[in-house]
């Protein structure tokens, strides 16, 4: 289970415990004592110690800002103001559970094609580097002209055997450099922008962004946070690249000037027309949070369908690629055998 899923379970446990008029500190102690995840257990233990020292829960969470999502800290601050702990925790649990499902779907949609690619190229490597050379070795010492297709396959096999190690090292170096670069702020922003524009993954990642935006904003509004503050919190929650962050900053500034959210994001190139239209409808009807929840569900379902479609397309591509290569290799192996048989039969 990913971290968002654990936080979702934790929030539901806290809501259930605090429903019995238990203080936040005592509720955290109960959850800490039964927490199986050691990392989360240590975090809860630190919060309990800080609360025992007189700190507010939001202040204790801010001291561990890298361990708590910004949206969780903002929601706790709201609960400390209005005292609606159970309501806040249930909304936060819904948010984290949705986030966990989204992350798991994206992870699976990326993992399945990667596994298919590794299996496909691994099998091709075995065929080209092991099967083909051993088969063609049978014709060594025999005065026999190999067919053109067989010669070409043999050249590929020789090239792969001579330079395959260097190619593998070069690819590994590129992946390591990319991995290190993606850990930097500029790298995270660039990779996020690339993922948003890729032919198959781009539409999946855009729907992921829309679902995260709608669910996060709905959660904050349900907890009574003003729109201006909510948009600024979302900036740190879903602003995973500079373009999205910049758009959200502009939107927050416009909302601060008295503009409605629908008008503030009207000229945005990040959000879909559906978000713009439904946000305007929600503001006019006064049920924006509920409409945002419905849109989050819609984009999540849409993302699941698109992610599955992506998996099918990628799987089909590798199956076809493997089939084509196998047909070429089989033809390269069968043709010399047939020609050699005809030559021997004619003697």
Top pLDDT among 139 and 20 is at 20
What span, in angstroms and rounded, lies between the C-alpha atoms of 42 and 340?
Answer: 73
To 5 degrees, how large is the angle CA 69–CA 74–CA 77? 130
What domains sit in the chain, N to C, each tagged with a CATH number?
Answer: 3-98 (1.20.81.30), 99-347 (1.20.81.30)
Q: 1, 66, 68: which is closest to 28 by C-alpha?
A: 68
Contact, 218 vs 289, CB < 8 A?
yes
Structure-block tokens of residue 165: 């190690």
Contact, 120 vs 306, CB < 8 A?
no
What span, in angstroms and rounded, lies between the C-alpha atoms of 315 and 311?
Answer: 6
What span, in angstroms and rounded, lies between the C-alpha atoms of 235 and 342?
Answer: 74
Structure-block tokens of residue 283: 């503001």
Contact, 60 vs 52, CB < 8 A?
no
What span, in angstroms and rounded, lies between the C-alpha atoms of 299 and 211?
Answer: 5
Say how many C-beta atoms besides its own lie within 10 A of residue 161's C-beta.
14
What span, in angstroms and rounded, lies between the C-alpha atoms of 228 and 319?
Answer: 50
Question: What is the pTM assigned to this prediction?
Answer: 0.75
pLDDT digits (tens, 9 = 90+) for 81-140: 888 888 888 888 888 888 888 888 878 877 877 888 888 888 888 888 777 777 777 766
pLDDT band of 340, cuts 50, 70, 90:
low
CA distances, 73 to each of 42, 58, 59, 80 (Å)? 18, 6, 9, 11
| pLDDT for residue 265 is more than 80 | yes
What span, in angstroms and rounded, lies between the C-alpha atoms of 211 and 251?
Answer: 18
Averaged confidence pLDDT in the chain: 82
pLDDT digits (tens, 9 = 90+) for 236-248: 777 566 677 777 8
Q: 185, 204, 193, 217: which is closest to 270 by C-alpha?
A: 193
pLDDT digits (tens, 9 = 90+) for 267-317: 777 788 888 888 889 888 888 889 998 998 999 888 888 888 888 888 888
What span, in angstroms and rounded, lies between the C-alpha atoms of 58 and 74?
Answer: 8
- DSSP 3-state of 78: helix
Structure-block tokens of residue 303: 């993302």
Q: Which residues make Cβ contacts (< 8 Å) with residue 5, sequence separation at least 6?
A: 96, 97, 100, 104
Token pair 């993302």 is at which residue? 303
Q: 1, 333, 24, 343: which is closest to 151 by C-alpha?
A: 333
pLDDT digits (tens, 9 = 90+) for 157-200: 888 778 878 888 888 898 888 878 877 777 776 777 777 777 77
Task: Give the per-residue pLDDT at 347.
Answer: 56
What span, in angstroms and rounded, lies between the C-alpha atoms of 10 and 18?
Answer: 12
């Amino acid at each position: 289970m990913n971290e968002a899923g654990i936080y979702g379970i934790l929030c539901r446990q806290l809501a259930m415990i605090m429903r019995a008029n238990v203080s936040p500190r005592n509720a955290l102690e109960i959850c800490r004592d039964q927490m199986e995840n050691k990392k989360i257990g240590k975090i809860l233990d630190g919060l309990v110690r800080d609360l025992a020292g007189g700190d507010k829960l939001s202040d204790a969470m801010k001291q561990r800002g890298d361990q708590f999502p910004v949206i969780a800290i903002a929601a706790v601050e709201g609960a400390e103001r209005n005292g609606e702990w159970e309501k806040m925790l249930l909304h936060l649990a819904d948010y984290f559970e949705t986030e966990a499902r989204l992350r798991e779907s994206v992870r699976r949609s990326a993992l399945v094609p990667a596994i298919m690619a590794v299996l496909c190229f691994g099998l091709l490597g075995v065929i080209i580097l092991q099967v083909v050379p051993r088969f063609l070795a049978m014709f060594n010492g025999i005065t026999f002209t190999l067919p053109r297709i067989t010669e070409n396959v043999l050249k590929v096999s020789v090239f792969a055997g001579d330079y395959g190690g260097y190619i593998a090292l070069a690819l590994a170096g590129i992946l390591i450099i990319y991995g290190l670069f993606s850990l930097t702020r500029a790298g995270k922003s660039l990779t996020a922008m690339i993922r948003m524009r890729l032919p198959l993954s781009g539409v999946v990642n855009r729907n992921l962004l829309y679902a995260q935006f709608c669910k996060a904003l709905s959660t904050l509004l349900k907890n009574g946070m003003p729109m201006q503050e909510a948009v600024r919190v979302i900036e740190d929650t879903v602003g995973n690249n500079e373009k999205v962050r910049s758009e959200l900053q502009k939107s927050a500034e416009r909302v601060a000037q008295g503009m409605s959210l629908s008008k503030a994001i009207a000229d945005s190139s990040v959000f879909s027309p559906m978000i713009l239209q439904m946000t305007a409808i929600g503001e006019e009807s006064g049920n924006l949070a509920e409409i945002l929840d419905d849109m989050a569900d819609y984009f999540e379902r849409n993302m699941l369908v698109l992610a599955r479609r992506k998996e099918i397309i990628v799987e089909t591509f590798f199956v076809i690629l493997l089939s084509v290569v196998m047909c070429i290799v089989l033809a390269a192996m069968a043709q010399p055998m047939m020609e050699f048989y005809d030559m021997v039969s004619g003697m």
